[in-house]
Amino acid sequence: MQFPLELPIPPEVLSIAKRLEDAGFETWCVGGAIRDALLNLENSDFDLTTAAPPAEVQKLFKRTVPVGIEHGTVAVLDAHNQPHEVTTFRKDITTDGRHAVVEFGGSLTDDLARRDFTINAIAYHPLRHEWRDPFQGAEDLEKKVIRSVGDANWRFQEDYLRILRALRFSARFEFRIHPRTREAAKANAQGLSQLSAERVRDEWFKGLQTAARPSKLVALWRDIGATRIWLPELGAGSTEHGAVDKLPRDPVLITAYLAKDPASLLTRLKCSNKDIERGRAIGAWRDKYPDATSAADVRRWLAAVGEYADDLLSLLRAPRSVLPQAVARIRQTNPPLTLKDLAVKGQDLIEAGVRPGPEVGEMLQRLLDDVLDDPEHNTREYLLSRV
């Protein structure tokens, strides 16, 4: 691959690099933005790596945030409050597979040598327009290969999340994983159990959102052995011939579609209570659809599934494809579907003679059942006459 003579670097990033260089600290652009630029993909999130220690970076810029200062990373805020990460040249000293102890003061080559994959170990000097590619990352971009920097086993043992990153990049760019890198990923898959649920969840969700085909990402996780450890509810089955690829790029929806027990899986990944309940509802209702020819059945279904109706509709495939149209027609009439939509309230029933307590709720539910059969019954006069 031929390097371009010059990359269009955002002016805010150039300003930060110039100030560091003027202060005598060598500074380069690195990371995903460089990789994506070489692939002609949009990415304005340029990271900088520099010889300046974190304390010097904080002295040079008035507005900074120590986002990862123990690892040498300081976010410099520009005039628009946008953060730009600046990380000191570093090399790993020790690691437990989750966290690394780093040493500052190395060279650019040392810094690139500790990165995960060759395609992410390319550096560009934004002022001199020079390139550094000591591990032939540009060649791997041209060959469409994901390959570890240096020894793949050691790279993964430094941080087991890199195994999942390899799968994400492979599915996103439709690159093959180099045989030695793939073998090392399989050999070290058990180390994934040491990762925090939050890191695994973020990687899984990001992978589903960015994959060219989510079914490819799922196949890679299964092949490596990652689903066995973190997503056992996915089982060992296929992804139904790519049906998952036709779903909206909603990671919770896709996960719930694939899982035998969505709520259990989302709980393991420490998702929010809202996402867990959403998964639970999808799991409970995904095989229970109404007869689209019966408006009353559709109204009852909408009342039962509530806010999860659109999720369930997105999972539909032929021959039930007429249901979305039936739902759209019913929604246009804005029918009463919940207790709060009724023309009477609990106090109205009490004043009509219903004993306060559980009987009020039971009576309201009966009235809602009546109204779901015929929305025209939702008048105060009719409902009180029923009481």
Per-residue pLDDT of 2-50, as tens digits, reads 899 999 999 999 999 999 999 999 999 999 999 999 999 988 789 999 9
Hey, is 110 helix, strand or coil? helix
19-28, 70-79, 171-180, 199-208: the lowest-pLDDT one: 70-79
Share of the chain above pLDDT 70, in %: 95
- Domain annotation for the chain: domains and CATH numbers: 1-143 (3.30.460.10), 340-387 (no CATH)
172-201 average pLDDT score: 97
Question: Residue 239: CB partners within 8 Å, gap ≥ 6?
Answer: 214, 215, 218, 219, 245, 258
**One-letter amino acid identity for 245?**
D
CB atoms within 10 A of CB 137: 26
Residue 40 DSSP symbol: T
- Tens of pLDDT, residues 39-95: 999 887 899 999 999 999 999 999 999 988 888 899 999 988 999 999 999 876 556
- Tens of pLDDT, residues 260-303: 999 999 999 999 999 999 999 999 999 899 999 999 999 999 99
Contact 213, 259 (CB under 8 A): no
Q: pTM above the 0.85 mark?
A: yes
B/e letters for 114-135, b = 16+ CB within 10 Å, e = fewer, are: bbbbbbbbbbbbbeeeebbbeb
- Alpha carbon 10 to its chain centroid, in Å, reads 26
Hey, is 74 helix, strand or coil? strand
CA distance 216 to 239: 9
CA distance 79 to 54: 21
Question: Residue 380: CB partners within 8 Å, gap ≥ 6?
Answer: 343, 344, 348
Q: Is the pLDDT of residue 103 over 80?
A: no
